[in-house]
Amino acid sequence: MSMMKIWNELLNLFFPSLCVLCHRPLIDGEEQLCLHCSCNLSYTYFDNADTNEVAQLFMGKFPFEKATAMFYYQKGGAVQKLIHALKYHDNQELAYYLGRQAAIRLKQAGFVDDMDVLLPMPLHFSKECKRGYNQAELIAQGMASVLYLPIETSAVKRVVNSSTQTHKEVYERWQNVQNVFVLTEKTKHLQGKHILIVDDVITTGSTIASCAVTCLSISNVRVSMMGIALAHR
């Protein structure tokens, strides 16, 4: 046993990592979540279904290839706790972990076979400054560690901070998201590529749709969308 391993085991003995949901100490091989909690999450099982509830949000609105989410997000549920932990409690490793788990599932389902690049949903710079990181980017980094795809963060910029729209009606929100994003000058390398836009939670889908439509103005681009969770409305 290497010194490092002995040191880690000692550390774990005195300061065990805890499950982010039930706070029981994690055992060897568990990360972030204990097996019990991770088995009891509300998986959507959309995996490779072409028509699923996420895809239905976008159908007929703009051309896209595929759309999916890994979990259902329910108020007060375990997935909400996970999303809150990564968004507001600075649990950046959890974002990375969830990205990796999502990528493993998507890879098994063949969902990502022809995708070229991951594009985490850009945050408005003021929000990113406040939080210190973009959680979608951490999710994408976790995914990239499984899929070996590049991450694109400089082609699309969020120019409108649309976070204050939570209570508006769905229709109003679809109207409000036009011109939320703009392309920068750095898009040439994306021409002809299939872009997977990555986000944490998809609710009405209007913001991720706006990002997708912005990407579609790059020549010969195809877009797909994925969220860690789909919120029930």
Residues contributing to the site for Zn ion (CB under 5 A): 19, 21-22, 34, 37
Residue 219: both structure tokens together: 């020549």
Q: Considering the complex, what minimum distance in angstroms separates the CB of residue 191 from Zn ion?
A: 45
For β-strands 181-183 and 156-158, DSSP reports them as: antiparallel
SS3 at position 217 = coil
Q: Which amino acid is at 85?
A: A
> Least CB distance from residue 70 to Zn ion, whole Å?
18
Cβ distance 22 to 38 under 8 Å? no
* Residue 79 near residue 87 (C-beta atoms within 8 A): no
Query: Looking at beta carbons only, is 37 or 98 nearer to Zn ion?
Result: 37
The residue (of 34 and 121) whose beta carbon lies closer to Zn ion is: 34
Residue 26 Cβ vs Zn ion, minimum distance, rounded to whole Å: 8
Smallest separation, CB 38 to Zn ion (Å): 8
- The smaller minimum CB distance to Zn ion, of residues 20 and 70, is found at 20
Q: Is 58 helix (H, G, I), strand (E, B) or coil?
A: helix
Query: Which of 25, 63 has the CB closer to Zn ion?
Result: 25
Whether the CB-CB separation of 223 and 195 falls below 8 Å is answered with: yes
